Homo-oligomer: A and B are copies of this chain.
């Protein structure tokens, strides 16, 4: 009997070896580059997987919500950055948490800090280097100074440094493009470092996206990295060039429920509520919601060429298979699907099964 014999419904399979190897590789890279490693735990959201990081010497983490911070604080993590714009409605929860751990928040305006001046928090200023989601534009020194002034006037708030997230690397299609975005952000952040290091000798310059952290080779001026997705990687990262397809550490196991050989399709039990509705374009420009792997007791290998999830509804997935693969997928067999965006798939599934059938938690 293998883990496959227990699967009756969609299950997110975790290859522990690949996952630990992804963690180890990033830990080594951070060490080699002299970077403080504060991995983002929003991708796995698992206390058990968190322990694999601890085993590699990791002591500080990043999360994306107050509730995620609380969850990992309960698991013994006592140095946490909430890398999401300060939500002032959660003041009480942040206050409570600040009494038990070393907690950093993220702001891009002094105004939101009103009412927080007596809470012992580390403060990162979010800088927008071109992604244009959250943060202060890098040249708006007036806004930066307002926040620094607010922190100076508070006995509890401690300015820690500048933090950016180049999420625009997710739209890159080559490592070269990732490097260009990374270099652009790095230069901007290095400029802030030069400007403020005199006043703040412990100034942290923090960057984060998985593509840059996986691909880039020059981190001069940066002191901390916060990648998260690399723990599992996914098809989007493989297409960008952040990883090899073989590094992807999770696959959704999906029972096959119908075959349509006339149109080279099979229907799987596995839909948008399992994989998420995230898609990406493959090399031919076709929208893809997942790629197909053959599952065995030892896990899975490379994606089967030209086999992909072409559409998703709530519980159904439609998988395209060239003729040579149709015999492998019949009602009752189980297809493995590599997710386009593992953070969203993990969130949808809320739990993992290991290759020995053991279960791993998710918030």
Contacts and interface: CB of A to CB of B under 8 A. Distances in A.
Given A85-B267, A134-B267, A316-B134, A9 B347 contact: no
B313 A133 contact: yes
A92 B84 CA distance: 45
A278 B132 CA distance: 21
Given A8-B90, A316-B134, A108 B258 contact: yes
Given A42-B314, A134-B316, A313-B133, A84 B344 contact: no
A149 interface: no
B347 A314 contact: yes
Contacts of A332: 88-89, 112
Interface stretch (A20-28, A190-198, A268-276): A268-276
A93 interface: yes
Given A65-B315, A316-B133, A331-B111, A8 B87 contact: yes
Contacts of A272: 276, 278, 344
A191 B278 CA distance: 39
A87 B255 contact: yes
Nearest to A115: B332
A346 to B, nearest CB: 10
A263 B89 CA distance: 24
Contacts of A343: 314
Interface of A: 7-9, 42, 64-67, 84-90, 93, 108-109, 111-112, 132-134, 167, 255, 257-259, 263, 267, 269, 272-273, 276-278, 311, 313-316, 318, 331-332, 334, 343-344, 347-348
13 contacts: A8-B87, A8-B90, A8-B93, A9-B89, A42-B314, A84-B316, A85-B257, A85-B258, A87-B255, A88-B257, A108-B258, A134-B267, A314-B343
